[in-house]
Amino acid sequence: MTDELQLYEVFIRSRRGLDHKHVGSLHADDPQQALEYARDVYTRRSEGVSIWVVASRDITASQESDCESFYDPLDDKPYRHASMYQMPEGVDSL
Amino acid sequence: MNDNVVALPDEHKFQARIDAEEKIEPKDWMPEGYRKNLIRQMSQHAHSEVVGEQPEGNWITRAPSLERKAILLAKVQDEAGHGLYLYSAAETLGATRDEMIEALHEGKAKYASIFNYPSLTWADIGAIGWLVDSAAIVNQVSLQNTSYGPYARAMIRICKEESFHQRQGYHIMMTLMDGSDEQKAMAQDAINRWWWPAMMMFGPHDGESAHSAQSMKWKIKRRSNDDLRQQWVDQAVQQAHAIGLEVPDDDLTWNEERGHYDFGPIDWDEFNRVIAGDGPCNRQRLAHHKKAHDDGAWVREAMSAYDAKRRAKSSAA
């Protein structure tokens, strides 16, 4: 990795109505250049209608190794799922 | 990234895009009216999620079992999350959170009128989950197809999470209807009080709805108030009868020819009165929201003070 170039993460909206999705990353001097590189690298076959680039160092991420303690309070709540509630037979739209 | 957009503001192009079922995304050109109409609808939708926590929150400390309490807490937590999704989606249109909250506090922005009714008994928690959430779901399912991308995506997320809300409500009603005479009476009393306000949730009849025609043309709304209301009545009546509840409408009859239930007239005077601020709990709901907002001010201040301190430290380092 060169010292000068920054790492950017690239997100593409493949069509209107869909969320931007992470597709990869690239090196660039500045955001505008990252955008143009992203166009050249990731959308050569009309893969998208909109691109976001974000400097990787600006992303704060959780660690998968911390999963256990990070998500622990959510694991024992089956009542958040509709399937926990038994509905009587013949009742629709529930 | 839109510095070089060359497309001229063009209502015709915009409408053509809508007509072709394409979504509108935040940086697209859009008519001012479309933006305003969306901010109005989405912020009111967000306010409804948040104010709706109050009648349910009223019973968290008095839920009849630990399990019911945990379920209700989880549901109310979901509603707060749904409010957040919707505020965030509205912010993509340039509205700020502060402006939206201020409009609510000043009475300029409304929220679903049904939350101005009190939750008097535990059965009301059943009735709210079952009737109010199912009415909201019928509406929200149709909005998964709304023309504004961020709104449509928020609706998809919300509908997915909402799936347990209606069931837990119905489950409460079902359990009460399986209980003592007093418990059955309590369930019947709850549907008696919540049925008509739930009917009103779909808004005025199509001919009298202030924003409907333009919203349909812009595909912000996808189905008419009356159409959604009918779908809800058809499913809710069946669900009520299945557990032995009576629907408090003497005119309710199955119309073989239409394949739908006919129902009695809605009391629009009551609807207008409650919307205008004179429901049983309007003042209480707003006062509580303001108080919660004001009581939280020190947290927001502490967070920004901490942030400033951290920034000063890292720039000094």
* A34-56: pLDDT as tens digits: 999 999 999 999 889 999 999 99
Neighbours of B136 (CB within 10 A): 25
Residues of B in contact with A76 (CB under 8 A): none
Inter-chain residue contact A94 with B71, CB threshold 8 Å:
no
pLDDT band with cut points at 50, 70 and 90 for residue A67: confident
Q: How far is A9 from chain B (nearest CA, A)?
A: 16
pLDDT band with cut points at 50, 70 and 90 for residue A58: very high
C-alpha closest to that of B238 among A90, A36, A14, A40: A90
Question: Which of B24, B149, B166 faces A94 most closely, judged by CB atoms?
Answer: B166
pLDDT at A93 (0 to 100): 80
Which residue from B minimizes the CA distance to A76?
A: B70
Neighbours of B221 (CB within 10 A): 25
Q: Domain-by-domain residue ranges, chain A?
A: 6-79
Residue ranges in chain B whose pLDDT is less than 50? 1, 3-7
Half-sphere exposure in the Cβ direction for B309 (13 Å, CA): 6
Give the separation between CA A51 and CA B279, rounded to whole angstroms. 48
Question: Which of B71, B167, B238 faces A87 most closely, judged by CB atoms?
Answer: B167
pLDDT reading at A2 higher than 60: no
Inter-chain residue contact A94 with B22, CB threshold 8 Å:
no
Residues of B in contact with A88 (CB under 8 A): 174, 242-243
CATH code for the structural domain at A6-79: 3.10.20.520
For B72-88, b/e burial (b = at least 16 CB within 10 A) is bbebbebbeebbebbbe
pLDDT at A73 (0 to 100): 72
Inter-chain residue contact A13 with B242, CB threshold 8 Å:
no
Inter-chain residue contact B71 with A79, CB threshold 8 Å:
yes
Query: Hey, what are A23's tokens?
Result: 């597709």
Contacts of B65 (CB under 8 A, 6+ apart): none
Exposure of B206 by Cβ count < 10 A (0-12 exposed, 13-18 middle, 19+ buried)?
Answer: middle
Helix (H) or strand (E) holding A21: strand A21-28
Inter-chain residue contact B70 with A77, CB threshold 8 Å:
yes
Q: How far is B28 from chain A (nearest CA, A)?
A: 11
Give the separation between CA B194 and CA B251, rounded to whole angstroms. 17
Expressed in angstroms, the distance from the first to the final Cα of chain A is 55
Identity of residue B78:
D
Give the separation between CA B133 and CA B78, rounded to whole angstroms. 12
Exposure of B35 by Cβ count < 10 A (0-12 exposed, 13-18 middle, 19+ buried)?
Answer: middle
Query: Hey, what are B309's tokens?
Result: 């301190």
Query: Hey, what are B240's tokens?
Result: 């009520």
Give the separation between CA B131 and CA B185, rounded to whole angstroms. 17
pLDDT reading at A90 higher than 70: yes
Question: Which of A19, A81, A91 faces B164 most closely, judged by CB atoms?
Answer: A81
Per-position DSSP letters for B35-71, written without gaps between them: HHHHHHHHHHHHHHHHHTHHHHHTTGGG-SSHHHHHH
Residues of A with CB under 8 A from a CB of B: 13, 16-17, 19, 35, 50-51, 77, 79-82, 84-88, 90-94
